[in-house]
Structure 1
Amino acid sequence: MLKVIFYTKEVCSLCDDAKALLLMLQHDYPFELEERDIYTNDAWLEEYQLLIPFVKINDTTLDCEQVNIVSLEEALKENV
């Protein structure tokens, strides 16, 4: 099954919106969603602090400025 890694943090409205989009798309494109709170890992915090919400689908990555319904759906279609 396809695995989507979602880098996030608590109290982040953009992250909440991105998660809602992912959960909506999960109905049409089955995938496992792994949420990673960047504050639980120093390496994640350093790498993704300014990029969250950050989504990784295989080799496709989308940062906060790229995450939207169109880009997420395209990335899922490419990787299913």
Structure 2
Amino acid sequence: MEVLYYTRNKCELCKEGKLLLQLLQEDYPFKIIEKDIDASDELTEKFGLMIPVVEVCDEIIQYGRIDLLALEDKLKDYMHRKQYTC
């Protein structure tokens, strides 16, 4: 499964969120695809004030301050779906 992680440089919340995602990777099989919103005007417009943003299957599952337990619950939910078809 792929988890899109929208971030930007010099963002402390983004650094914290990435550490939480990496912690969850120890127990769950997913790949983090990090996207810097500053590299795209479209992404900056879409996510500018929300970052960091965690997206799975085209659905934003968390943004801003990332909550480990809530994020884990959402990831488990996607993994228990029919082979996470997205």
What TM-score do the two structures reach when normalised by structure 1? 0.91
Q: Deviations along 1:25-58, whole A, 9 cap, x unmatched?
A: 0011110110000000111000000000100012
Partner of 2:24: 25
Higher-helix-fraction structure: 2
| Aligned-partner Cα distance in 1 for 2:59–2:26 | 20
> Where in structure 1 are there 5+ consecutive unaligned residues?
none
**1:65-76 map, 5 Å:** 65=65, 67-76=66-75
CA RMSD of the aligned region, Å?
1.1
Q: Which runs of 4+ in 1 moved over 6 A?
A: none
How many matched pairs? Answer: 78
Identity over aligned residues, as a percent?
37
TM-score (norm 2): 0.85
Deviation, structure 1 residue 78: 0.6
Aligned pairs for 1:1-80 (under 5 A) are 2-61=1-60, 62-65=62-65, 67-80=66-79
- Which one has the largest radius of gyration? 2
Q: C-alpha separation between the residues in 1 aligned to 2:59 and 2:73?
A: 10
Structure 2: runs of 5+ lacking an equivalent = 80-86
Higher alpha-carbon deviation: 56-65 or 21-30:
56-65
Taking CA–CA contacts closer than 8 Å with sequence separation of 6 or more, which of the two structures ends up with the larger relative contact order? 1
